[in-house]
């Protein structure tokens, strides 16, 4: 997968994506990303990329010319036309399903806005999909693009070490994850649940399923609506929740 981020602040992408999991994944050729400066495509004398909104109002709007030229130039680096995603609070809210589906694209252009907005003609003519990372407004799309990239690359085979990670983690099975523990078994008198030390794999799996159900019921009950619970599980859960 190749990702091009179009931004006025390409320098903010370097540190995060050269470190840790994303850094290793790029070194191993599992994905590649470039950050392209939209300002380099501004043809006006002072390389301005924004102007006052028609109709008046506060703030500045990103001009179409630098963005069109930037997108058109970047597309030439792709054999097949990449999907163009605009990071915007007006977009589809990012979740596990959207991250997984976008991770299957061969190429992606992520367009980051700044100032108060983007000229609508950019959105109408160039953008295939708008994505939001939540119901709040950031000062620009850069952090949102980083969140999206990080969430997507975890689905690329080999990026996160063990493929079981995906099966077990939160959201993959529609539930939040069960609690995890590591050594020591006794930390300041606080003990790890004994079933995890039992070596009984069936009992451990059953405990983890129960804990996932309980955490999900307490924190995100709406996630349980699509979940196929056995009558026994429902009864157990109801009993647990009674004492909350």
Residue ranges that bind ligand ADE, judged by CB under 6 A: 87-89, 132-134, 136-138, 141, 144
Nearest distance, CB of residue 8 and ligand ADE, angstroms: 13
- DSSP class of 222: G
Q: Which residue from 135, 137, 131 is spatially nearest to 108, judged by alpha carbons?
A: 131
Q: Which is nearer to ligand ADE, 24 or 96 (CB)?
A: 96
How deeply is 84 buried, as exposed, middle or buried, from its count of CB atoms within 10 A (0-12, 13-18, 19+)?
buried
* Residue 137 or 167 with smaller CB distance to ligand ADE: 137
Instruction: In angstroms, give the least distance from the CB of 155 to ligand ADE.
Output: 20
Give the tokens for residue 109. Answer: 């252009």
CB 108 within 8 A of CB 54: no
CA–CA separation, 228 and 226 (whole Å): 7
User: Under a CB-based contact definition with an 8 Å cutoff, are residues 83 and 109 in contact?
Assistant: yes
- In sequence order, the 6+-apart residues with CB closer than 8 A to the CB of 79 are none
- Smallest gap from Cβ 126 to ligand ADE, in A, equals 16
Closer of 134 and 184 to ligand ADE (Cβ):
134
Query: Quick one: 53 or 174, whose CB is closer to ligand ADE?
Result: 53
Euclidean distance between the first and final Cα of the chain, in Å? Answer: 46
Nearer to ligand ADE, 132 or 212 (CB): 132
Q: How far is the CB of 95 from ligand ADE (least distance, A)?
A: 13
Q: Minimum distance from CB of 208 to ligand ADE (Å)?
A: 33
């Amino acid at each position: 997968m190749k990702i091009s981020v179009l931004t006025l602040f390409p320098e903010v992408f370097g540190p995060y994506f050269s470190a840790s999991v994303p850094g290793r994944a790029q070194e191993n050729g599992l994905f590649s990303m470039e950050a392209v400066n939209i300002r380099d495509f501004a043809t006006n004398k002072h390389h301005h990329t924004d102007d006052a909104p028609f109709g008046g109002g506060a703030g500045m709007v990103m001009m179409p010319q630098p963005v069109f030229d930037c997108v058109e130039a970047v597309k030439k680096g792709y054999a097949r036309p990449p999907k163009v995603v605009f990071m915007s609070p007006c977009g589809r809210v990012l979740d596990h399903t959207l991250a997984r589906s976008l991770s299957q694209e061969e190429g992606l252009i992520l367009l980051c806005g700044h100032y108060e907005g983007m000229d609508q003609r950019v959105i109408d003519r160039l953008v295939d999909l708008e994505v939001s990372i939540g119901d709040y407004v950031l000062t620009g799309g850069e952090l949102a693009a980083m969140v999206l990239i990080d969430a997507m690359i975890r689905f690329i085979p080999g990026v996160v070490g063990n493929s079981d990670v995906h099966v077990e983690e939160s959201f993959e099975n529609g539930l939040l994850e069960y609690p995890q523990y590591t050594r020591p078994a006794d930390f300041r008198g606080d003990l790890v649940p004994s079933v995890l030390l039992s070596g009984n794999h069936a009992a451990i799996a059953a405990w983890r399923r129960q804990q996932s159900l309980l955490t999900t019921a307490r924190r995100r009950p709406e996630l349980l609506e699509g979940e196929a619970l056995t009558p026994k599980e429902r009864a157990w859960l109801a009993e647990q929740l009674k004492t909350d």
